[in-house]
Homo-oligomer: A and B are copies of this chain.
């Protein structure tokens, strides 16, 4: 019987209620109050704490949606109001679905044709570095793929438990994932004053420290950085690879924001590309997993649930287990898989949809880059806030110098001070931002996280309300800890 929690699987029971779910519950509560007619100084909650672009009002890419609509309802193949390349593409994709229907199960690692499309995309992206469909695994979101890899790595308890070198700050979803998988988080601090760069000596320090209390077997990297907005250059990537090679660590690289680098003079470089230019000593030995997602910046199709990972230098038997573990889901949702194909193989010059597609992508990129700059400047003008400029990705991560009154109050009510700040902001202004402690902050510093992939007017509204709240707060509690 499950009637008593005593009997719930002890591993599951260990999952903590995170700061994230505390704020999430409060947001749901406020939303419900508004629905029930409770008077508030705002009309609804604006949630830009996490990356969900469509929810925030960003528009989907028409080409993607048109092709999917035809695949779902193939009678539209004959509908002349839809561009010809849309219909041809839908026809081609239906051919790779079993029985010509998106309603059939697929191989658990994904539709072979689409795994091939992804490999082709990777080859183009990495200027010729080889990539093979068999090394590409499609899953219901990149987080699912990551979970599979974590589960494969997990073993031991206490001092022998698998440890993962994890950046601080890290994506706010990561600590819970590591916890669920039964792994030890081994923190390495990113360098705020260098725009959140990775520091080699810090990696060595962290590893040494980790080896004292667990068995570190992997390093996690987010590039472009979530939530930091940092974009690694060639030299930095090379350093991390050499470090992983020397220390025999698996490299897990979240590269889901590869399509959204906007910092002046910055470009996205994949770990795989750098690895393959370092010579066979590295390219044939370092174990690398790279994640990408349909939820990423320009597509923003979080709800369709699809992502992929490419495994490099992984033991064939490990690949077999990856496949086995993906089997539990039976297969990845087909609409998501088809959308992945469209993401990695967009319309080409000359295709009917090319111009529209290109304009839509450019607009999203322009919005993102302008928002990044605008939010950075705006926040830096507020007393007690200072952010590093974001160079890529969809977040801005800003330091928050809190009045000591607030820090004291937080101690009394037993929440982190940045969570308290976010709670007050949510209650007073209906603006839902993320708190740095969700990103693993343990330095005692406080931070705010904003998703900046939102329509410009939404961002303006958020900034205005944030400023109004923040200035009221500073006014009431003059800062003392700056």
A binding-site residues for B, Cβ under 8 Å? 1-5, 7-10, 12-13, 15, 52-58, 60, 62, 65-66, 68-70, 72-73, 76, 79, 81, 97-99, 101-106, 140-141, 143-144, 147, 151-155, 176-177, 180, 217, 248-250, 287, 300-305, 313-315, 317-318, 321, 324-325, 327-336
Contacts and interface: CB of A to CB of B under 8 A. Distances in A.
Contacts of A313: 3
B54 A217 contact: no
Contacts of A13: 321
Given A152-B8, A153-B9, A287-B1, A329 B72 contact: no
Integer count of this chain's copies in the complex? 2
Contact of A335 (B140, B147, B217, B304): B304
Given A13-B321, A72-B69, A250 B305 contact: no
9 contacts: A2-B287, A2-B314, A2-B315, A2-B318, A3-B287, A4-B315, A5-B317, A69-B76, A143-B330
B105 A52 contact: yes
B249 A302 contact: no
Contacts of A177: 328
A20 B436 CA distance: 47
Contacts of A65: 72-73
A99 B55 contact: yes
B98 A52 contact: yes
A303 B104 contact: yes
A79 B73 CA distance: 13
Contacts of A7: 153, 155, 217
Given A141-B330, A303-B334, A305-B331, A98 B55 contact: yes
Contacts of A103: 53-54, 60, 300-304
A15 B9 CA distance: 20
A304 B321 contact: no
Contact of A104 (B10, B55, B315, B321): B55
B104 A52 contact: yes
A180 B328 contact: yes
Given A55-B104, A333-B303, A1 B217 contact: yes
A9 B329 contact: no
A74 to B, nearest CB: 8
Nearest to A311: B2
A54 B99 contact: yes
B72 A303 contact: no
A345 B217 CA distance: 50
A144 to B, nearest CB: 6
Contacts of A72: 65, 68-69, 72, 335
Contacts of A66: 73
A325 B55 contact: no
Given A12-B325, A79-B79, 20 more contacts: A2-B152, A2-B314, A5-B318, A8-B152, A8-B317, A8-B318, A9-B151, A54-B103, A55-B104, A60-B103, A68-B72, A69-B69, A72-B72, A72-B335, A103-B300, A105-B302, A141-B329, A143-B329, A176-B327, A303-B333
Nearest to A336: B333
A99 to B, nearest CB: 4
A-B residue pairs, 9 tightest by C-beta:
A303-B334, A69-B73, A54-B101, A54-B103, A333-B333, A55-B104, A55-B98, A69-B69, A55-B99
A248 B1 contact: yes
A277 B286 CA distance: 63
A302 B69 CA distance: 18
B99 A324 contact: no
A422 to B, nearest CB: 19
A97 B250 CA distance: 38
A13 to B, nearest CB: 7
Contacts of A301: 103
A154 B9 CA distance: 6
A2 to B, nearest CB: 5
A303 B100 CA distance: 12
Nearest to A107: B28
B104 A8 contact: no
Contact of A333 (B3, B140, B318): B140
Contact of A102 (B99, B180, B304, B334): B304
Given A315-B2, A318-B8, A105 B333 contact: no
A5 B13 CA distance: 29
A140 B69 contact: no
